[in-house]
A and B are shown apart, each in its own frame.
Chain A
Amino acid sequence: MAGQTHSHTDQTVTRRVYSRDPDAFGVPTGREEEWRFTPLDRLGGLTRPIQPDGKIVVDVQAPAEVSVRTVGTDDPAIGGVHTPSNQVSALALAGIHEAMVVSVPAEVAASGPTFLTMRGEGGSQYGHLLVEVGAGAAAVVVVDHVGTATLASNVEYRIGAGAALTVVSIQDWEPTAVHVESQTALVGRDARFKHVLVTLGGALVRISPTVRFAGPGGDADLLGLYFTDTGQHQEHRVFIDHNAPRCRSRVTYKGALQGEDAHAVWIGDVLIRPEGVDTDTYELNRNLLLTEGARADSVPNLEITTGEVLGAGHASATGRFDDLQLFYLMSRGIPETEARQMVVRAFFAEVIDKIGVPELVERLTTAVDDELAKVGR
């Protein structure tokens, strides 16, 4: 792992600087690879230090065996997994006064999902969340963002050896919210990590999930679903760092876009380091443009620095909603709204069917239908 007090650079095309020091990055200009897709003028000032004046109310529903608490930033666990790789993340880590910690003790299988609902009540804020799952434990954590805020935040997942963690992170913000978040997971030996990112709301949402492995045999399954509407900028930057042998990763992100200036960005970086022998990785991004005026950028990047991989591949495609499909379905009597719904539901089914949290399936299916209902209105 990168040092925490001084920066260093990976010797790779996916060059990344890691540092807790915001000055290690400098204020973004938009020319950096890291920021070239992001409209910096719409970040609500998060590229410079802010005086947090906002409020985020957290509602917690957790089974008894899962502990949810708030700790000071002096807690040694904070920043132990995640080292910022961009300036907003570094500012957030430097600017927090406390952090929320969700812990599942070793060998405990949580009896139900833990729900954290973060309701933004306006203003700017920094945030930090750490989810620790002990060795051999199993848990499902759902983090739901609602309301509005200008939020820069970091999330860390520490997954013990042989543990299984499913995280569902939902960006269901009101249309005014700005949210820039970096997440890092450290997946233990033979542990399983399922990460589901759902972005529906917000004016600008930019989430950067990173996965690293603490030992061999780890498994990371990253699923993404986004629905980008008129004027929204939704950016997802995935980085899988195959730094240990015999690990597996799957990245499946699917997005639908509609409306003028709807802009989605997907970056999928996979690095297989020399020690990542017998890696098995595949990443996929699909975008469905439902209307004119929407734009999707999709950049997969796979870098392999060992000769011994089991599998490594990626696919990326952006397609238009097909008027011929619509005609075909309607010519069988199916009304237009229902025909569109069929096609878009089918498009997202690959992701929704894999989430594996029954409590969310109906909500997400409904959310997709609701988003779709906005089309052409």
Chain B
Amino acid sequence: MATLAIRDLHVSVDDVEILKGVDLTVASGQTHAIMGPNGSGKSTLAYSIAGHPKYTVTRGEVLLDGEDVLSMSVDERARAGLFLAMQYPVEVAGVSVSNFLRTAATAVRGEAPKLRTWMKEVKAAMADLEMDPAFAERNVNEGFSGGEKKRHEILQLALLKPKIAILDETDSGLDVDALRVVSQGVNAVRASTDVGTLLITHYTRILRYVTPDFVHVFAGGRIVEEGGPELAERLESEGYARYAALAGSGPAA
């Protein structure tokens, strides 16, 4: 049982405050959806938890099972059990997917996985995501389509088995088929591990595949409303217009 506790989190970028006091607790086995309009600070929350150097935490704390996440380096956070599936995964020229995955798994697990079982594991995870085995020989994110990048992120989720996963707009840029496959991939990880999931999205469509336990509406750098799956349905029909006033003092879209 793991718990990620975010308390009164304030984050700035270039001295502009983006997050203005976020409180959120995600426990193992739970799925939380964070929904909000563009520019509301959703991605800032994701990157701040992962430790991206561009974001400065000015107040508050992030604890993983009581451990101070904010004092950890980026790699330490990952080894502690946090995972961020990025909206814009980065190209790493000359580094193959297979080398990358194995290096990451070795780092996160604390020892190199046995080659034979590892190969099987990767193969199975790729098959779940309907990925061609030849994919493993390509360079990380180089020349990947939008759908391939997202599948590759979820492949890492499946192999690294984090305690808490943050999926940042994993649904963006996906067509219906890719969305289904990626969602199945996420659900397979949820079913086979005790992962706590923080699903960040603008649209409700991924929530038809990945059912959240809790929905949080994000506007102006903080959570402005919370509820169950029914809140997502209301957002589906009403949109974010009613939160515009709350976002007034927030960052520009």
A323 touches which of B53, B78, B139 (Cβ 8 Å): B53
- Inter-chain contacts of A329 with B (CB < 8 A): 92, 100, 104
Q: Chain A 311-337, CB within 8 Å of chain B: the 1/0 string? A: 000000000001111011111111110
B1 at the interface (CB under 8 A from A): no
Residue A350 interfacial (CB < 8 Å):
yes
Complex: how many Å from CA A228 to CA B108? Answer: 33
Contact B107 A332 (CB under 8 A): yes
A328–B108 contact, CB under 8 A?
no
Confirm or deny: A343 has a beta carbon within 8 angstroms of a beta carbon on chain B: yes
- Contact present for B75 and A342 (CB under 8 Å): no
Is B66 close to A, CB under 8 A? Answer: no
Cα-based distance from A324 to B75 in the complex (angstroms)? 13
* B73 pairs with A336, CB closer than 8 A: yes
Contact with A along B19-57 (1 / 0, CB 8 A): 000000000000000000000000000000011110000
CB <8 Å contact, B74 and A338: no
- Is A25 in the interface zone, CB < 8 Å from B? no
Docked-complex contact A327 and B90, CB < 8 angstroms: yes
Tell me whether B90 and A325 are in contact (CB under 8 A): yes
Cβ of B79 < 8 Å from any Cβ of A?
yes
Cα–Cα distance between A339 and B95 once the two chains are bound (Å): 10
B160 within 8 A of A: yes
Contact yes or no, B50 A338, CB < 8 A: no
Chain B residues within 8 Å of A327, by CB = 51-53, 74, 90
In the complex, are the beta carbons of B108 and A332 less than 8 A apart?
Answer: yes
> How many whole Å from A76's CB to the nearest CB in chain B?
47
Interface presence of B94 (CB below 8 A): yes
Give CA–CA (A334, B100) in the complex, Å: 9
A299 CA to B90 CA, complexed, in Å: 29
| B126 CB, nearest partner CB in chain A, Å | 17
A342 touches B95 (CB 8 A): yes
Asked if A346 is at the interface of the complex by the 8 Å CB criterion, the answer is yes
Indicate the member of A324, A332, A350 with the most B CB atoms within 10 Å.
A332
Verify if A347 is at the interface (C-beta below 8 Å from B). yes
Interface size on B, residues (CB 8 A): 29
The answer to whether B78 touches A331 (Cβ under 8 A) is yes
Q: Complex: how many Å from CA A335 to CA B95?
A: 16
Complex Cα distance, B140 from A343, in Å, reads 11
B107 touches A328 (CB 8 A): no
Interface string of B71-102 (1 = CB under 8 A from A): 00111011100001010011111110001100
Instruction: Answer whether residue B103 sits at the interface, using C-beta atoms and an 8 A cutoff.
Output: yes
- Enumerate chain A residues within 8 angstroms of B73, measured Cβ to Cβ: 330, 336
- Note all chain B residues with C-beta closer than 8 A to A325: 90-92
Interface string of A350-361 (1 = CB under 8 A from B): 100000000000
Contact between B52 and A334, CB atoms less than 8 A apart: no
Given contacts A322-B90, A327-B53, A327-B90, contact A333 B160 (CB under 8 A): yes
Alpha-carbon distance between A146 and B107 when the two chains are bound, in angstroms: 37
**B107: A residues at CB distance < 8 A:** 332-335, 338
- Indicate the member of A322, A324, A343 with the most B CB atoms within 10 Å: A324
| Complex partner residue of B94 from A330, A335, A336, A347, CB under 8 angstroms | A347
B161 to chain A, nearest CB (A): 11
B-side contacts of A334, CB under 8 Å: 75, 78, 103-104, 107
Question: In the bound complex, what is the Cα–Cα distance between A347 and B140 (angstroms)?
Answer: 13
CA distance A342 to B90 in the complex (A): 14
Partner of B90, one of A328, A345, A346: A328
Closest to A336 in B: B75
Cα A267 to Cα B86 with chains together (Å): 40
Report the minimum CB–CB distance from A124 to chain B (whole Å). 41
User: Does B183 sit at the interface, judged by CB under 8 A?
Assistant: no
Among the listed B79, B89, B93, B94, which residue makes an inter-chain contact with A328, where contact means beta carbons less than 8 Å apart? B89
Whether the Cβ atoms of B50 and A331 lie closer than 8 Å is yes
Asked if A349 is at the interface (CB within 8 A of a chain B CB), the reply is: yes
- A289 CB, nearest partner CB in chain B, Å: 15
Answer yes or no: B201 CB below 8 A from chain A CBs. no
In contact, A328 and B86 (Cβ under 8 angstroms): yes
Tell me the complex Cα distance, A375–B183, Å.
42
The A-contacting residues of B in range 109-127, CB under 8 angstroms, are none
Interface residues of A (CB under 8 A from B): 322-325, 327-336, 338-339, 342-343, 345-347, 349-350
Beyond contacts A333-B104, A342-B103: 19 other A-B pairs, Cβ-Cβ < 8 A, are: A322-B90, A323-B53, A325-B90, A325-B91, A327-B74, A330-B73, A331-B51, A331-B77, A331-B78, A332-B104, A332-B108, A332-B160, A333-B79, A333-B108, A335-B107, A336-B75, A342-B99, A343-B94, A347-B94
19 contacts between A and B (CB under 8 A): A324-B90, A325-B91, A328-B140, A329-B100, A331-B50, A331-B78, A332-B107, A332-B108, A333-B78, A333-B104, A333-B108, A334-B103, A334-B104, A335-B75, A335-B107, A338-B107, A343-B95, A346-B92, A346-B139
Chain B interface residues (CB < 8 Å from chain A): 50-53, 73-75, 77-79, 84, 86, 89-95, 99-100, 103-104, 107-108, 139-140, 156, 160
3 interchain residue pairs of minimum CB distance? A346-B94, A333-B78, A333-B107
